[in-house]
Amino acid sequence: MKRQCGLTLIGLIFMLMLGGLTLLVAAKLMPVYLEFYAVKRLIHEISSSGDNSNPKSIQAAFDRRANIESITSIRGNDLQIDKAGNGYAISAAWERKVPIVSNVSALMEFEVES
């Protein structure tokens, strides 16, 4: 007698549900991570450019660029700007809560330093 190999209908439905849930979570979290990398890039660009003459100009430059990039999680006032050598060290930390399904949410904490 030959042993049968394969996937049952219930197994197929379970695998499709698991794949769908994975895609749903990835689709919900991807924009938040893209925004994180945009903030990281902006902070590094501002710290290496000539716009860092004082904290107010750093905040204004960040706000201008964040408006162009559609960054909504953090503003120029949220940046931690400390004197470091001839320039300034810029850092930021923030949290973002993303609803996944019903009462299930993902809380992500981000931190960037220049």
Provide, for the chain, the percentages of residues in helix, strand and coil under a 3-state DSSP scheme, each rounded to the nearest 5. 50, 25, 25
Distance CA 49, CA 62 (A): 12
CA distances from 65 to 33, 38, 51 (A): 18, 10, 12
Render each residue's pLDDT in the chain as its tens digit; 114 residues.
678 787 788 988 999 999 999 999 999 999 999 999 999 999 999 988 866 678 999 999 999 999 999 999 999 999 999 988 888 899 999 999 999 988 999 999 999 998
User: Model's pTM, two decimal places?
Assistant: 0.83
**Which among 91, 86, 78, 88 has a CA at the least distance from the CA of 55?**
88
